[in-house]
A and B are shown apart, each in its own frame.
Chain A
């Protein structure tokens, strides 16, 4: 069952504070968070979060398409890399 819409998206409160501080500082930093359950909101777009996967903080660069998803969806707790073959990395 999905979350009732009248409640609005769930976000841990401290993320707003961290995001705001990061924006104001203007420094090259990754905002380290443990809140995998929080929803990605439009005000997080353009920031880079380090989302904990139980072991390390995985860099998550937030863009418009990610709004509405949870942070944890971009930081898998189990990783199977497979073979590199001809895979390409795009610099964002």
Chain B
């Protein structure tokens, strides 16, 4: 089970293969700027026990060839194939005033100004027309809410809730 709060682990990449005979591995990065995967220091596995550190990174198509500290031969690299790479949430840099990490928004409660609960945020998306939240009600119904000051006037990550002023027909479909 992942720890909660800022110590919880966030998936940022995966080892998809090996490269050459010197222990290099092929990585797929999930970070918004792919090369940033090397900037988070040592990366952990899903249990948080095993860690690797990226020494160098070279882009090849959509993947990266990475040299990892302590991995010097192909057998060592083969043993890492398929391992997912996580980083504690606390290592993410601070965001600007109106920016929030998806990882912080997903899972928090959506509450109206009058205290009415609408459900929880299950996904965040942005297709080029501003970010929006996918809100899932307790009965399983899903609706979308534009992530704007107009509809989400207050974001309180520490309290685990968003105060919203949704449109009249929100959650009525």
Chain A residues within an 8 Å CB radius of B166:
28
In the assembled complex, A48 has its CB within 8 A of some CB on chain B: yes
| A62/B106 in contact, CB under 8 A | no
A interface, over-half SS: loop
Known: A48-B146, A81-B125. A59 touches B101 (CB 8 A): no
Known: A30-B146, A59-B144, A81-B125. A90 touches B131 (CB 8 A): yes
Report the contact-size class of chain B (Cβ under 8 Å from the partner).
35 or more
CA distance A48 to B36 in the complex (A): 34
Partner of B129, one of A30, A57, A62, A82: A62
Shortest CB distance B55–A (Å): 21
Shortest CB distance A63–B (Å): 8
CA distance A81 to B132 in the complex (A): 13
Shortest CB distance A4–B (Å): 27
CA distance A27 to B143 in the complex (A): 19
Known: A66-B129, A85-B10. A92 touches B32 (CB 8 A): no
Interface string of B79-101 (1 = CB under 8 A from A): 00000000000001001101111
Interface string of B2-39 (1 = CB under 8 A from A): 00000000111100000000000000001110001000
| A87/B146 in contact, CB under 8 A | no
| A92/B131 in contact, CB under 8 A | yes
Chain B residues within an 8 Å CB radius of A66:
128-129
| A79/B128 in contact, CB under 8 A | no
Interface of chain A residues 46 through 87 with chain B (CB within 8 A)? 48, 50, 56-63, 66, 73-76, 79, 81-87
* Closest partner residue, chain A, to B105 (CB atom): A89
- List the one stretch of B44-52, B64-72, B149-157 in contact with chain A: B149-157
| A48/B148 in contact, CB under 8 A | yes
20 contacts between A and B (CB under 8 A): A28-B165, A32-B169, A59-B132, A61-B146, A74-B127, A81-B123, A83-B30, A84-B102, A84-B103, A85-B10, A85-B11, A85-B13, A85-B30, A86-B36, A88-B102, A89-B99, A89-B126, A89-B147, A91-B147, A91-B152
